[in-house]
């Protein structure tokens, strides 16, 4: 199969893709700018969030933090709050750290050099390539899962996309297709085709601009590509939380551990043995993270007096909040859902 791609005219396919993009590319707010700050924010937000879901978040994030300096000077909690609803909070933490790096190391001006961009906290090769090509016109392919999928199909290429060598392999292939001086548009075109037409499931081959050249489509083998051999098996993890409340107030604290949900807020994870008599309800919540299947045991605890409630808060250095204050902080999704189910 690997040899079939020699029949295709790489550049011809790239030119076709670009022509399609110039007419059908999505008109998104960050498409009308070459401001590297905005492109960076959008790349990070849309890494794990669909455009339709993340657009309002992108707009409000940019409105509140319009430039690197504003973001760098913000409180971490506020950055997390503006990330609420997007999940994968480590992205927001890294954005904040990287904004500080830019202020400290580059005087607040976004670096232009690919390696400098790559050295920013939380920026991988894909994001660095997207910023370099879109904002600074560098001929660097922003290769991600969309590229792997489209290229594997167009060239009926059985190179294993889960291989550590996939990035280098597909980057080389893309460079052969990329029309000169059009790297930014080309990368955006590939993103749009991969997310709107050549989708992982049910690709819309009938309306695809590349269908005449696509080997997988013409051979009736679309479902065979991309080839992926390695599957990451999620691990199971059990967590216990105690929702300790009194008269609508409850206890929280900020997570510190460099593990899941770093820096988000949570409820107590243990209670004194004497508190067990105050447990009034128990619920098991199942929640999936990318590589973990969580089972969260939620216990609702109502101490019989305010002094008992407050002394536990003091001993455990917990903060006392009500539901309005709760909504001004960022919590893991299962905990947020739990509180919403109560109030």
Sites of contact with ligand SF4 (CB under 6 A): 150, 153-154, 197-198, 203-205, 208, 210-211, 214, 216-217, 222
Query: What SS3 state is found at 114?
Result: helix
Nearest CA-CA partner of 41 in 70, 16, 13, 17: 70
> To the nearest whole angstrom, how small is the minimum distance from the Cβ of residue 53 to ligand SF4?
23
* Known catalytic residue at 336: no
How far is the C-alpha of 326 from the C-alpha of 265, rounded, in Å?
A: 9
Tell me the sheet residues that pair with 319: 252
> To the nearest whole angstrom, how small is the minimum distance from the Cβ of residue 26 to ligand SF4?
16
Asked whether 283 and 296 are in contact (CB, 8 A), the reply is no
Q: Which is nearer to ligand SF4, 150 or 301 (CB)?
A: 150
Rounded to 5 degrees, what are φ and ψ at 185? -65, -40
User: Which one of 43, 182, 245, 336 is the catalytic residue?
Assistant: 43
Asked whether 188 and 36 are in contact (CB, 8 A), the reply is no
Taking CA atoms, 245 is separated from 17, 148, 275, in Å, by: 58, 50, 12
Residue for token pair 């460099």: 258
Per-residue DSSP letters for 239-254?
Answer: EEEEEEEETTEEEEEE
Q: Which is nearer to ligand SF4, 118 or 222 (CB)?
A: 222
> To the nearest whole angstrom, how small is the minimum distance from the Cβ of residue 22 to ligand SF4?
18
Q: Which is nearer to ligand SF4, 5 or 57 (CB)?
A: 5
Show the tokens assigned to 231.
């599957």
Q: Which is nearer to ligand SF4, 57 or 153 (CB)?
A: 153
> To the nearest whole angstrom, how small is the minimum distance from the Cβ of residue 130 to ligand SF4?
21
* 282 sits in which H/E element: strand 279-288
> To the nearest whole angstrom, how small is the minimum distance from the Cβ of residue 236 to ligand SF4?
36
How far is the C-alpha of 239 from the C-alpha of 307, rounded, in Å?
A: 28
> To the nearest whole angstrom, how small is the minimum distance from the Cβ of residue 194 to ligand SF4?
8
Q: Which is nearer to ligand SF4, 154 or 252 (CB)?
A: 154
How far is the C-alpha of 260 from the C-alpha of 46, rounded, in Å?
A: 20
How far is the C-alpha of 228 from the C-alpha of 159, rounded, in Å?
A: 8
Q: Which is nearer to ligand SF4, 170 or 338 (CB)?
A: 170
Catalytic positions: 43
């Amino acid at each position: 199969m690997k040899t079939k791609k020699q029949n295709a005219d790489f550049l011809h396919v790239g030119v076709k893709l670009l022509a399609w993009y110039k007419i059908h590319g999505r008109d998104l707010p960050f498409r009308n700018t070459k401001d590297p700050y905005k492109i960076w924010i959008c790349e990070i937000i849309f890494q794990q969030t669909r455009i339709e879901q993340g657009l309002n978040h992108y707009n409000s994030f940019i409105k509140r933090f319009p430039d690197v300096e504003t973001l760098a000077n913000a409180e971490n909690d506020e950055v997390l709050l503006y990330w609420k609803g997007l999940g994968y909070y480590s992205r927001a933490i890294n954005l904040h750290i990287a904004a500080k790096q830019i202020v400290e190391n580059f005087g607040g001006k976004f670096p232009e050099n690919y390696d400098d961009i790559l050295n920013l906290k939380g920026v991988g090769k894909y994001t660095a390539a997207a910023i370099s090509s879109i904002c600074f016109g560098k001929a660097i392919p922003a290769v991600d899962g969309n590229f792997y999928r489209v290229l594997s199909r167009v060239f009926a290429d059985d190179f294993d996309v889960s291989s550590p060598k996939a990035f280098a392999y597909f980057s080389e292939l893309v460079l052969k297709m990329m029309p000169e001086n059009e790297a930014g548009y080309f990368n955006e075109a590939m993103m749009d085709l991969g997310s709107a037409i050549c989708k992982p499931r049910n690709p819309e081959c009938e309306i695809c601009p590349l269908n005449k050249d696509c080997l997988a489509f013409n051979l009736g083998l679309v479902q065979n590509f991309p080839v992926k051999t390695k599957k990451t098996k999620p691990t199971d993890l059990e967590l216990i939380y105690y929702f300790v409340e009194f008269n609508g107030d409850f206890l929280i604290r900020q997570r510190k551990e460099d593990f899941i949900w770093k820096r988000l807020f949570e409820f107590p994870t243990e209670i004194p043995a004497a508190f067990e008599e105050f447990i009034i309800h128990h619920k098991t919540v199942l929640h999936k993270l990318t590589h973990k299947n969580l089972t969260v045991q939620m216990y609702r605890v109502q101490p019989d007096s305010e002094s008992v409630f407050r002394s536990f808060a003091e001993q455990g250095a917990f903060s006392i909040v009500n539901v309005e204050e709760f909504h001004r902080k960022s919590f893991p999704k299962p905990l947020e859902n739990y509180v919403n189910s109560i109030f």
